[in-house]
Chain A
């Protein structure tokens, strides 16, 4: 009944506007940004359009983290619970209506991120075994109501963000390498003997194709978040568990699976400003520019991936959520204090413009944003 009325409504809108390319575009869902947020102890995933207007909101059973949008069926989105998470929520991209709530499998917890295969049939979610921290990639069949049909090892401890390479066949997982107490997820148990890696898995059968690590002296860098460029370059951002006075690289690129992880240095004037922590990473629509957020330092940093250098930064206190926006080198970032900014890089400078939106300003945005199509 509801769906039927919705269809009639859309049809009426089209009729009023007349048949024109503009009307057809208007009838298709606009690009929106989906962000996890907290309101006291209540958690939501809230979507807003580029003007900051609310489009829909999903009430979550607990704190949310990352998202995935289903290819070939882009009306379906998935919200993953924050590590160690008990749920993932499958919802309608148009109105946020919940289609499925999937509980973590026995003795498994969600790690906050997941990725679909190219066809949109299978969903891969990073998971861990409480107690040991062993990394798992859980495999879910979207066509069967997100039934869990199998799992494979992630190639390390503490798997976090996962993505599908443009070849459509290879998954890449950032294994953070940090063991945490199952009862107290904030409590890190092995920072003196961490082992973080980037692992490549064959999507078809989960075979471990290879792992990459940073040089040994950087073993306390936890590889956690990643973004994948159209040419297959993997950009990975880190958090450092060593002394806070150390000044270490926090961004690395891997241009091919068999190439070395290549770290990008910060310019001297920006050393220390990132507080040894990057919380989120995104690549712009051209595939050339990279943005990272450092909430503790309160900065959004923009990078040129082609030249492998830092372009500059914009300030956004407690800014973490991040997604590509319309335009070359343009991103949107959101703050845990409320509010968000558009940040743009060009050849000369990094510019930032606050979003003029009561909605965005009044919500406290959690770690991640995703741009939905």
Chain B
């Protein structure tokens, strides 16, 4: 009895937060308070996000993919089910690390098509399936190497191809077998894991090391800088990362498998249904967005800027609540996204999550952007 009361309260709270978010989002934008913000305010904001959010997450991604590479080498040497299970665990940890930093879409991750190579998705034409079939069909352990994989189609270079190798039954069976077919599958697993580790290491290094580390390049933003003429323009990139993180969940990762109705549900359009990690990925994305907004400890980063520099306490309070509520909804959902979209009772909870992420996205674009001093126009966001 007590339990059902609590649930009811949560539902009402959820509804009211969504209503509040939407109401806030459609208010006419007020004069941008951030006009009072100085170049130094923006520099401090950008620096805190780079140092406390981006760099640690890139380092974690590099570490997780290095572990994945080591586990792939072990599993492909031993070919035991225990090592395969361990490999799957490191795969999930590495994918989680990627999902926690995939929203940082500017800078070194953009070079050499790295983002598509790390995680080619969505894939409505089944490029991953076709290209992986061709790779395994035409390749051999001699021809599929750490070096050769980087020259293959982007569709076979990253997580989606590796997920099929580890979770599609007929393919995964090869990883505990011997023979030429098994050796070829193992060569692909090792090459993809190595490729991911290389890209992750290179991206992290490009931000922090070498002659021209990207973090310093951002720090130098200002008049005379070739790309960022103001620190505020770096803040705009960070805002876009935040907006994209929520937008990908709202418009793609949730909306695609949900469809317009239960009859139109498409569970296999979920991001990682083979490993059953689609909802976990969404959770990682939303948690990353929350952390980008408020820092690891809360009330840091953009949140502190909104409160202290722009003086918009009410908006900050609302955003903090909105992130917490949306994440709580994602956490409350038990089961996988794939199964959830196809069952009437669980769809309701997923639709709530969908509404909340959409409202959050509107709130970010229409209320947070002007307060940060980076109003984003609809021509700029989705021109054609």
Seen from chain A, the residues whose Cβ lies within 8 Å of a Cβ on chain B are: 38, 65, 82-83, 112, 160, 181, 183-184, 186-187, 189, 191-192, 224, 239, 242-245, 247, 268, 271-273, 275, 277, 279, 295-296, 298, 317-320, 335-337, 364-367
Pairs across A and B, CB under 8 Å, 11 listed: A183-B124, A187-B252, A192-B113, A245-B106, A279-B379, A279-B383, A295-B379, A318-B378, A318-B379, A337-B377, A367-B384
A277 touches B125 (CB 8 A): no
Contact B378 A244 (CB under 8 A): no
Q: Which residues of A contact B154 (CB under 8 A)?
A: 192
**Cβ-defined contact, A273 with B252, below 8 A:** no
**CB pair B116 A192 closer than 8 Å:** yes
Q: Report the bound CA distance from A242 to B227 in whole Å.
A: 15
Which of chain B's residues has its CB closest to A83's CB? B384
In the bound complex, what is the Cα–Cα distance between A224 and B256 (angstroms)? 28
Given A189-B124, A239-B383, A367-B384, are A247 and B226 neighbors across the interface (CB < 8 Å)?
A: yes
For residue B375, CB closer than 8 A to chain A, the reply is yes
Query: Is B122 engaged at the interface, CB distance under 8 Å to the other chain?
Result: yes
Give the contacts of B120-136 with A (CB-CB under 8 A). 122, 124-125
Q: Within 8 Å of chain A (Cβ to Cβ): is B168? A: no
B51 close to chain A: CB less than 8 A: no
Of the residues A65, A184, A187, A336, contact of B378 by C-beta under 8 Å: A336
Complex Cα spacing A184 to B251, Å: 9
A residues less than 8 Å from B107 (CB atoms):
245
Q: Which residues of B contact A189 (CB under 8 A)?
A: 122, 124-125
Contact pick for A271, options B226, B251, B383, CB 8 Å: B226
- Interface 1/0 per residue, B223-250 and A, CB below 8 Å: 0011111000000010000000000000
Q: How many Å from the CB of A37 to the closest CB on chain B?
A: 10
How far is B1's CA from A40's CA once the two chains are assembled, in angstroms? 43
Interface size on B, residues (CB 8 A): 28
Determine if B169 is an interface residue (Cβ-Cβ < 8 Å). Answer: no
Given A83-B384, A184-B252, A243-B122 contact (CB < 8 Å): no
Q: Is B382 an interface residue (CB 8 A)?
A: yes
CB contacts (< 8 Å) of A268 on chain B: these are 226
Closest to A365 in B: B379
Q: State whether the Cβ of B344 lies closer than 8 Å to any Cβ in chain A.
A: no
Q: Counting CB contacts under 8 A, is B6 at the interface? A: no
Q: Which residues from chain B contact A317 at a C-beta distance below 8 Å?
A: 375, 377
B251 adjacent to A272 (CB under 8 Å): no
| Among A187, A245, A273: residue with most chain B CB under 10 A | A245
Known: A191-B116, A279-B383. A273 touches B229 (CB 8 A): yes
Which single member of B124, B125, B225, B379 contacts A336 (CB below 8 Å)? B379
| Cα of A54 to Cα of B122 in the assembled complex, Å | 44
Task: Specify which chain A residues have a CB less than 8 angstroms from the CB of B39 in the assembled complex.
Answer: none
* B227, A245: Cβ atoms closer than 8 Å: yes
Type the 1/0 row for B105-125, where 1 means its CB is closer than 8 Å to any CB of A: 011001101001000001011
Contacts of B256 in A (CB 8 A): 183-184
Expressed in whole angstroms, the minimum distance between the Cβ of B112 and any Cβ of chain A is 9
A275 to B384, CA, bound (A): 14
CA–CA, A245 and B109, complex, Å:
11
**6 additional A-B residue pairs with CB within 8 Å, beyond A184-B251, A364-B378, A367-B379:** A112-B384, A189-B125, A244-B110, A245-B106, A275-B380, A296-B380
Q: Is the CB of B379 within 8 A of A187?
A: no
Q: Given contacts A279-B379, A318-B377, A335-B377, are A272 and B111 in contact (CB under 8 A)?
A: no
User: Which of chain A's residues have a CB closer than 8 A to the CB of B116?
Assistant: 191-192
Question: Contacts of A364 on B, CB cut-off 8 Å?
Answer: 378
* Complex contact A337–B384 (CB within 8 A): no
| Residue among B111, B122, B377 having the largest count of chain A Cβ atoms under 10 Å | B377
Contact B377 A295 (CB under 8 A): yes
Given A189-B124, A192-B116, A242-B110: A271 touches B384 (CB 8 Å cut-off): no
Least CB distance from B269 to A in Å reads 9
- Please indicate the chain B residues that have their CB under 8 angstroms from the CB of A273 in the complex: 229
Q: Which 7 interchain pairs have the tightest Cβ spacing? A: A318-B377, A243-B110, A295-B379, A336-B377, A320-B379, A272-B227, A336-B379
Q: Are A65 and B384 in contact (CB under 8 A)?
A: yes
Residues of B within 8 Å of A186, CB to CB, are 251, 382
Complex alpha-carbon distance, A340 and B144, angstroms: 57
The CA-CA distance from A271 to B237 in the complex, in Å, is 17
> Could you tell me if B384 and A82 are in contact, using CB atoms closer than 8 angstroms?
yes
Q: Which of A112, A224, A243, A366 has the most CB of B within 10 A?
A: A243
CB distance from A76 to the nearest CB of B (A): 25
Instruction: Find chain B residues with CB under 8 A from A320 CB.
Output: 377, 379, 383
In the complex, A318→B154 CA distance in Å? 33
Q: In residues 73-131 of chain B, which contact A (Cβ within 8 Å)?
A: 106-107, 110-111, 113, 116, 122, 124-125
Please, which residues of chain B bring their CB within 8 A of the CB of A242? 110
Separation of A244 and B226 alpha carbons in the complex (Å)? 12
A337 touches B375 (CB 8 A): yes
Q: Is the CB of A336 within 8 A of B229?
A: no
* Cα-based distance from A275 to B376 in the complex (angstroms): 13
The complex places the Cα of A38 from the Cα of B229 at a distance, in Å, of 31
Closest residue on chain B to residue A40 by CB atoms: B26
A295 lies within 8 A of B227 (CB): no
Q: Give chain B residues whose Cβ lies under 8 Å from the Cβ of A336.
A: 377-380
CA distance A189 to B128 in the complex (A): 12
Query: Among residues 33 to 64 in chain B, which have CB atoms less than 8 Å away from a CB atom of chain A?
Result: none
> In whole angstroms, how far apart are the Cα atoms of A357 and B113 in the complex?
45
- On chain A, the residues within 8 Å of B113 by CB distance are 191-192
A246 nearest CB across to chain B (Å): 8
Residues A277 and B383 in contact in the complex (CB < 8 Å), given A192-B116, A247-B227:
yes
Residues of A near B252 (CB, < 8 A) are 184, 187
Indicate the member of A112, A186, A364 with the most B CB atoms within 10 Å: A186
Question: Contact: B383 with A367, CB < 8 Å?
Answer: yes
With A82-B384, A271-B226, A272-B226 already in contact, the answer to whether A181 and B379 are too (CB < 8 A) is no
**Are A295 and B122 in contact (CB-based, < 8 A)?**
no
Select from chain B the residue with minimum beta-carbon distance to A186: B382
